[in-house]
Amino acid sequence: MEYTIVNASDDKALIEKVNEMFEQGWETEGGVAISPEGVLYQAMILFDDEGDEFETGEEL
């Protein structure tokens, strides 16, 4: 599994980045965070093909 955080200065830019990552197989993890400066952050995860945590019951 891989983990990354995407950020953008406005909601439209964040949506575009997240949608691009969806096309590559990434999934969101949790909700959007907003810094005091107004920067938006979204955590993303990408599961590898070796063993599915949901099928095996393993915790992430």
Nearest-angstrom CA–CA distance, 58 and 10: 35
Report pLDDT digits (tens) over 3-54. Answer: 999 999 999 999 999 999 999 999 999 999 999 999 999 999 999 876 555 6
* pLDDT value at residue 48: 85
In SS3 terms, the chain reads as CEEEEEEECCHHHHHHHHHHHHHCCCEECCCCEECCCCCEEEEEEECCCCCCHHHHCCCC
